[in-house]
């Protein structure tokens, strides 16, 4: 899979047991962080659009670390999707779902993991052709029990639970047949970027890669 190949949402989910949820406040941290993840065997990197520097960070990773697959998180509008694509993002993750965001990602050729927390939201996303979904906020919205309950009526839907996931509870989610991967911010502790302890990121990535799907 090279940098010019279009991704599917399922490919994004299947690449590793976890998609790191990354908040970056300094563009200088983007490239070394991406390289640290690659060293730990994780390529799919979700950089959230929660800081003024996020798009510049995505652009830097896409340009300097093309073997990584950088995506944009917290995509809330069609303009977010287009800006992410323009910056070089390969996929998008949204905290909720609207048809406008779904269509914008299709137009921009971005694989999309739409966020859902209810059965109605799953049905709405599925109607628009999205059956690989982010369950968010996973722990707060019902956790493992909710995913088990959804396994019957939504037997054809695959999930990436995100929100409240830790290295400790990730195996409980990954053991479910309708869970392909999880999203987690634990791989980038807040102090790591400030201290430049990229080795710790690589160690956490390797530890996470060892989780069985």
Note the pLDDT tens digit of each residue in 114-124. 999 999 999 99
Give yes or no: 109 in active site: no
Give yes or no: 134 in active site: yes
| 3 falls within a domain | no
Dihedral sign (CA 158, 47, 94, 85): negative
Contact 189, 22 (CB under 8 A): no
- Residue 2 confidence class, pLDDT cut points 50, 70, 90: very low
pLDDT at 10 over 60: yes
| 175 falls within a domain | yes
> What is the 8-class DSSP label of residue 162?
B
What is the reported pLDDT for 134?
A: 98
Q: By residue range, what is the domain housing residue 99? A: 9-205
Contact 95, 119 (CB under 8 A): no
| 213 falls within a domain | no
| 212 falls within a domain | no
What is the reported pLDDT for 190?
A: 82
| 2 falls within a domain | no
Count the domains in the chain: 1
| 130 falls within a domain | yes
At residue 129, the 3 state secondary structure works out as coil
| 196 falls within a domain | yes
How many Cα atoms within 13 Å fall on the side-chain side of residue 14?
A: 8
Q: In residues, how long is the chain?
A: 213
Q: What are phi and psi of 82, to 5 degrees?
A: -65, -40
Choosing from 46, 59, 132, 158, the catalytic residue is 46
Ranking 30-34, 166-170, 186-190 by mean pLDDT, the lowest is 186-190
pLDDT at 150 over 50: yes
Choosing from 59, 132, 134, 158, the catalytic residue is 134
CATH code where residue 124 lies? 3.20.20.70
């Amino acid at each position: 899979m090279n940098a010019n190949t279009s991704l599917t949402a399922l490919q994004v989910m299947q690449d590793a047991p976890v998609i790191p949820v990354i908040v970056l406040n300094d563009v200088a941290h983007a490239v070394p962080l991406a390289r640290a993840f690659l060293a730990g065997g994780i390529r799919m990197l979700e950089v959230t659009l929660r800081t003024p520097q996020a798009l510049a960070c995505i652009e830097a990773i896409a340009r300097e670390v093309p073997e990584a697959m950088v995506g944009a998180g917290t995509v809330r509008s069609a303009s977010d999707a287009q800006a992410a694509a323009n910056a070089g993002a390969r996929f998008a993750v949204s905290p909720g779902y609207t048809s406008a965001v779904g269509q914008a990602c299709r137009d921009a050729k971005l694989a999309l993991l739409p966020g859902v927390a209810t059965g109605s939201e799953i049905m709405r996303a599925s109607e628009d052709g999205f059956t690989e979904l982010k369950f968010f906020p996973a722990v707060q919205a019902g956790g493992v029990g909710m995913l088990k309950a959804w396994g019957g009526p939504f037997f054809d839907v695959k999930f990436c639970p995100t929100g409240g996931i830790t290295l400790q509870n990730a195996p409980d989610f990954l053991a479910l047949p309708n869970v392909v991967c999880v999203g987690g911010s634990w791989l980038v502790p807040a102090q790591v970027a400030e201290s430049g302890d990229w080795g710790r990121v690589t160690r956490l990535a390797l530890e996470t890669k060892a989780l069985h799907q």
